[in-house]
Amino acid sequence: MTAARGRGRPRDPETDAAILNAALELFVERGVEGTSMEQVAKRAGVGKLTVYRRWGSKEDLLAQAIEQSVSAEVTPSAADVYALPPQAIVEQVLPAAAELAASPEFRALVARIMGSAVSHPALMAVYWKHYILPRRELAATMLRRAQQEGTVAADADLDVLIDMMAGAVTYRVLQPDPPDATEMLRYLTAVYRQVGLYPPEPQG
């Protein structure tokens, strides 16, 4: 969540991107405790006030940096969720999701996020409220449509299904020998098929 902008020149998207990239790199390298707004500014090549004008706190900045890194190619838009069949959405995002989940950068990021849930709950509170909850609602909308189509059980607990999908990815990427992109695609396909968002394998 970004801080409100006052009067003046429009914000430069390239500057925003440099700051967010720097924040993400520092978070993965050093964790929350080892990252400061000053360090982010130095790595991004901008003044400290430039960062503070855009984000009111380190938690806001890191939460947006994390979300930007994981959502660009793998999060469907709200318009798509309401307009397209669940299967079409899954087929659209699965290849990119598998590539992302198999990358060493994503694995390191997940490890940092998991640790921050305990060591720095303020960050997780911001990230959960502004980014995770809206994405869970999109997933719930997909699942409700799948219930209407009969591919997800009418009495299914949608919160549990969403936890199962998210937890499956986390469990796999934190294993000592994580899958490559090809295996991750196979695994994600199986997960979505098990939930009811992907058609069963053809028989015979």
Give the whole-angstrom CA distance, residue 127 versus residue 34: 18
What are φ and ψ of residue 46, in 5° steps? Answer: -130, 170
Q: Which of 68, 57, 14 is nearest to 32 (CA)?
A: 57
Domains in the chain, start-ordered, CATH in brackets? Answer: 13-63 (1.10.10.60), 73-195 (1.10.357.10)
Give the pTM.
0.81
Q: How far is CA 69 from CA 26, 36, 110, 115, in A?
A: 13, 19, 11, 18
Blockwise average pLDDT, block size 10, the chain, 204 residues: 46 90 96 94 95 93 90 77 90 91 92 90 90 91 93 96 94 92 96 91 67
Give Cβ neighbours of residue 110 (< 8 Å, ≥ 6 apart). 170, 173, 174
pLDDT, tens digit (0-9, with 9 covering 90-100), for 119-155: 899 999 998 988 899 899 999 999 999 999 999 999 9
pLDDT, tens digit (0-9, with 9 covering 90-100), for 97-114: 999 999 999 999 999 999
